[in-house]
Structure 1
Amino acid sequence: MIIVTTESVHGKEIKELIGFVRGSTVQTKHIGKDILAGLKTIVGGEIGEYTEMMDEARQKAIGRMAEDAKAKGANAIVSMRLQTSAVMQNAAEIIAYGTAVVVE
């Protein structure tokens, strides 16, 4: 599956427009890691536990979006975007979305 943030795939021609596809996940960390992350806010610096959580969430959301596109017969996704939002304390939703197409 080709996934790009641009409106076209360089060197390929879009033969068919399939339509909107998306994938999302809501992630949170174990309470022990939340406590460690809270302590990190006192001294400053990167909160590695949350960086790791968000990376995992992005990968899951992109993977689910690609599965949605594949199920609809696409072999590429153009104009891919990521968004995040807090759905509750210490939990974040990541959504990946784009336009599924067939390229040659």
Structure 2
Amino acid sequence: MIDAYDPLRPWFVSNPDYNREDERRAVEAMLLIDDLTQQAMTGQADIDTLFDCLAEQEIDPLQWADDAVAGMERIVDAGIVFVSDETGLFLPQGIRHV
């Protein structure tokens, strides 16, 4: 199942040197990026705020944007048809938020 935000979502990358606290911080950072992404996409946050957050997490904002575009292009190339749901998001046809 594909969510409209999937190409923009950060992925948790496990590090064998992480202890429990390191993992907790990484998950919290990932969730912050996810929240700011959704806020930026819905106009509730400025894209510069998201890009600043990415840079603070040592993620190149422009590379992140390029990766997101590439993910969206893969979805389009696969022929997935997006339709608007009640939230105004465009989702693959037949998929709705629960």
Higher strand share: 1
Higher helix share: 2
Fold equivalence (TM over 0.5): no
TM bracket, shorter-chain basis: 0.3 to 0.5
For normalisation by structure 1, the TM-score amounts to 0.33
Higher relative contact order (CA 8 A, sep 6+): 1
Q: Which has the larger radius of gyration?
A: 1
